[in-house]
Structure 1
Amino acid sequence: MSDFFDLLKSQHLFFESGQTKSYDFRLSALTDLENALIHREHLILAALKKDLNKAPFESYATEFGVVLDEIKYAKKHLKKWMSPQRRSVGLKNFPAQGRIYREPYGSALIMAPWNYPFQLLINPLVASIAAGNCTVLKASEDAPATSQVIKTLIECIFKPDYVAVILGDVSVSKQLLTHQFDLIFFTGSSSVGKMVMKAASEFLTPVTLELGGKSPCIIDETAQLSLAAKRIVWGKFLNAGQTCVAPDYLLVHESVSAQLITVLKEHIQAMYHKALSNPDYPSVINDRHFKRLTQLIRNENVIFGGDFDAPSKKIEPTLIFTDNWESPIMQEEIFGPLLPILTYSSKEDLVKKLNQKEKPLATYLFTTSKVNETYFLNALSFGGGCINDTVVHVASPTLPFGGVGNSGMGAYHGEKGFDTFSHAKSILKKSNLIDFPFRYPPYKEKWFKLLKKL
């Protein structure tokens, strides 16, 4: 407890020195981080293999490469992001200039989950560094190999009064939250997000919550089914379904459901042949989640897959056909390689049903109909998503990523991440050359008429 107090005190002192606020310091820190990551690429990929059995290709595509892209993008645009932004202040303030100065908060706490333990810790760090903050990183205890590699890496390039990595279990996270940070950035479940927000409220600390939810994937009667199935299988069973923006369940127009199921099976067989013995197919993170997922399969109409191996904590890509919105598998975010399939006949009835549920982190639509595309986009509220693809929207620094409602608040990636870790300070600079008398008492009727016109 006292160690965290001393750590935060040292970070506040370092921040108050002003060093983190300069462009050169931030650019240098981003470059040092980039070089250290490149030098230790093999260690990071090996750690992800140990924690989640991820293939090196998958780890690079979904974690390591995503972070490198984020760093390169931040370095390229940093000077522009840091520059004051001019704003019109209106005729009533003439003569004057308006500007927005984006300044760092101070000391930021970033808390990451286990499913993408590298990307979801380091990507927010890139934004925090770019914005000029000091940072405390709480790595996931459920991905110990990756967390240890990150800790060693960060300690080699940054002093703890600038960037520090904390390891430990839930009790350590709770202790951290009893201290006053200037910003908290949390990625994880909605239930834990509520606890984080409650703790932050004690100090009125601003929070960004990247949560989850049951993200639907809609396949209408016009979709190109084979390509849709291929992209759905990839997005759903990536990281064995342990992805916060994975398609959680399919909503298929009844006229194409049988055909879609056929091509889904074909693509699963092509991508994940003999999944339980496939060395590149990821494992479920731990025994608790493995048991939770295997229990969800019980009493469901499994139409493909369903086998599992306890020693390796692997579960086959599994398709489940259901018409029951109230079944256990439809009550919570699955976060595993189980894919329920439901059918619909009317898009209006489907929208009505979806709008009765919590707003998801992602929604996906496969269609070739512009009318259907416009209808669903206008009728549904969700964090973000894709038309005719899954998951890939999160990999672009130009697209803000975040949830809405129960799936989170705030967003990051690219400039939006810089904004999230910055306070926008508005300044109006007034000229001393002219000073109109009508704003000062005693007020006159003629000035009242002028005020209304302005």
Structure 2
Amino acid sequence: MTLTNHPQSPSEEFDVAAVAAQLQKVFAGGRTRNADWRIRQIEGIERFLDQREPEIVSALADDLGRSGTEAWFADVALVKAEATYARKRVRRWMRRRPQPLPLNQLPAVGWVQYEPLGVVLIIGPWNYPVHLALIPLVAALAAGNVAVVKPSEVAPATSALLSYWLPRYVDPEAIVVIEGDAQVTQDLLSQGLDQVLFTGGTEIGRRILEGAAPHLTPVLLELGGKSPVVVASDADLEVVARRVAWTKLFNSGQTCLAPDYVLAERSIHDELVRLIADTVTQFRADQRGRGLRIVNERQFDRLAGSLADTSGRIVFGGGSDRETLTIDPTVIADPDPDDVVMREEIFGPILPVLAVDSIDEAIAFVNARPKPLAAYYFTSSRTVARKLVNAISSGGAVVNHAAVHAMVPQLPFGGVGDSGMGAYHGKWGFQAFSHRKSVLVKSFKPDLKVIYPPYTARSVKTLRRLF
């Protein structure tokens, strides 16, 4: 897909400082505080997804080699579900929340009310360039903010699509799409905006924090990490194989929530490896080639290098083709813990499967590493599931599936430690892009004199009873 009737060099077309000033002016005008305005913007996003689905699918095929079904599911259906959920609840979320007060503050009334922050910057990644730009945008608009969306230059067709079409469905004075490279991102950060949401890798996340720090701009980071799968010996291995293979192969494994490695109890390790390999073969029976498309040469070379250098046994797959930028779905058995596939987030269709002697060993293995964005536990035992959920710190956790918690707008989605800070989705996104203002309203009478100096023994005694 090629779009030629819109700016292709946004760093030349946009004066970043002027854009920021204009957005601040729009926000100061107050129209975004109105519930009707917020709802209209979210409805516009829903119409964009409905009416431009063919263009979205085409752009994702160009950028990522994504199938039409995967493109619809991840970047259309899930985004629309989030938008619809928020649209129906915006008025409810906006209501002030009365709070009970202590006796020493009566008579009075207190509440919490949500205020929009102002100008929000959403920095999208290349792997889900519609999903991870628009779901944060829905949250920002539900909260009454104006926004700059900065898509990833690594997904140029989708970036162009968003730049051209999105402003035609929303208020173009309040929602601006700016294309460009890392320098454009730093230029935007230097404007002293009111909130930033970045989705991407941990190292880039650190640079975003550095860019935001001079202005004390709050940052919500959705990063990555090595999300583990722990499989107990009592799990239904056929179901495990299907669910792990599906989430691992989706988008060629280029998913921040994809299972990164599997820790299986030793008694089931070999059988699970076989079932995963068989399942991958079944899932790809209708595909012409074996390989899965990787986004660019840099990512391909990184993945191919990890296959060449691994200390583990490649028991399935292992092939690659640089000309087509494809990597075969690969299962690696028992790589060393310090192997490259165990040190770095894989972000591709490569799955290490390691044997452990106990659930306790699996817990210790995961906890010895940086906190992951998610963790997935497969077991028939509620006791074991509860133990794993409580013992391992992760951004999110799923029992007997993988990644599907991110499809639930009622649950906050976010990381912890190296995998991110802050969370959004549903009302949690509304709150993330809002300021929670405390309001206390007092009357002129009664006016307790005991609180004012000079303090007497009697007034101090009264104060000690009140506080």
TM-score band by shorter chain is over 0.9
Alignment equivalent of 1:95, drawn from 107, 117, 122 = 107
1:111 maps to 123
Give the whole-Å Cα distance in 1 for the aligned partners of 2:45 and 2:278.
42
Alignment equivalent of 1:131, drawn from 127, 138, 143 = 143
Conserved? CA contact 2:406–2:413, under 8 Å: yes
Conserved? CA contact 2:150–2:178, under 8 Å: yes
1:198 maps to 210
Give the whole-Å Cα distance in 2 for the aligned partners of 1:16 and 1:47.
36
1:284 aligns with 2:306: no
The 3 A distance-change label for structure 1 pair 421 and 396 is same
> What is the one-letter code of the residue matched to 2:255?
T
Deviations 1:104-156 (A, max 9, x none): 11100000110001100011010111111110010111111111111111221
The 3 A distance-change label for structure 1 pair 450 and 222 is farther
1:61 aligns with 2:61: no
Deviations 1:338-381 (A, max 9, x none): 00111111222332232221100010000011121111111110
After TM superposition, list the pairs within 5 Å mapping 1:159-308 onto structure 2: 159-273=171-285, 277=289, 282-300=292-310, 301-308=313-320
> What is the one-letter code of the residue matched to 1:21?
R
2:374 maps to 362
Give the whole-Å Cα distance in 1 for the aligned partners of 2:463 and 2:329.
68
Quote how far apart the aligned CAs of 1:6 are: 0.5
> What is the one-letter code of the residue matched to 1:257?
H
Quote how far apart the aligned CAs of 1:29 are: 1.4
2:7 maps to none
After TM superposition, list the pairs within 5 Å mapping 1:9-88 onto structure 2: 9-88=21-100
Quote how far apart the aligned CAs of 1:433 are: 3.8
> What is the one-letter code of the residue matched to 2:190?
T
Which structure 1 segments of 5+ residues have no match? none
1:121 maps to 133
Quote how far apart the aligned CAs of 1:163 are: 0.7
Alpha-carbon RMSD:
1.5
Quote how far apart the aligned CAs of 1:282 are: 4.9
The 3 A distance-change label for structure 1 pair 61 and 282 is farther
TM-score by length of 2: 0.94
TM-score by length of 1: 0.96
Give the whole-Å Cα distance in 1 for the aligned partners of 2:38 and 2:89.
12
Give the whole-Å Cα distance in 2 for the aligned partners of 1:294 and 1:145.
25
Deviations 1:216-263 (A, max 9, x none): 100011111100111000011111100001010000000111111121
How many equivalent pairs are there? 452
Quote how far apart the aligned CAs of 1:274 are: 7.1
1:156 maps to 168
Conserved? CA contact 2:321–2:327, under 8 Å: yes
Conserved? CA contact 1:323–1:343, under 8 Å: no
Deviations 1:24-46 (A, max 9, x none): 11111111221122111111111
1:383 aligns with 2:383: no
Give the whole-Å Cα distance in 2 for the aligned partners of 1:438 and 1:323.
72
Give the whole-Å Cα distance in 2 for the aligned partners of 1:80 and 1:288.
46
Deviations 1:292-325 (A, max 9, x none): 1011001432000111222221111100012510
Alignment equivalent of 1:331, drawn from 340, 343, 365 = 343
Quote how far apart the aligned CAs of 1:208 are: 0.3
Deviations 1:253-296 (A, max 9, x none): 00111111121111111102375626xx7511001101110110
> What is the one-letter code of the residue matched to 1:364?
Y
Give the whole-Å Cα distance in 1 for the aligned partners of 2:445 and 2:165.
56
Quote how far apart the aligned CAs of 1:435 are: 2.4
SS in 2 for 1:303: strand
2:4 maps to none
Deviations 1:43-70 (A, max 9, x none): 1111111111111111111121111011
Give the whole-Å Cα distance in 2 for the aligned partners of 1:269 and 1:214.
24
Give the whole-Å Cα distance in 2 for the aligned partners of 1:323 and 1:297.
11
Deviates more, 1:25-34 or 1:238-247: 25-34
SS in 2 for 1:298: helix
> What is the one-letter code of the residue matched to 1:295?
G
SS in 1 for 2:324: coil
> What is the one-letter code of the residue matched to 2:114?
R
Conserved? CA contact 1:236–1:247, under 8 Å: yes
Conserved? CA contact 2:126–2:153, under 8 Å: yes
Quote how far apart the aligned CAs of 1:434 are: 2.3
Give the whole-Å Cα distance in 2 for the aligned partners of 1:157 and 1:339.
41
Conserved? CA contact 1:275–1:316, under 8 Å: no
SS in 2 for 1:47: helix
> What is the one-letter code of the residue matched to 1:427?
V
Quote how far apart the aligned CAs of 1:389 are: 0.2
Conserved? CA contact 2:335–2:342, under 8 Å: no
Give the whole-Å Cα distance in 1 for the aligned partners of 2:462 and 2:28.
46
Conserved? CA contact 1:276–1:315, under 8 Å: no
Give the whole-Å Cα distance in 1 for the aligned partners of 2:402 and 2:439.
42
2:417 maps to 405
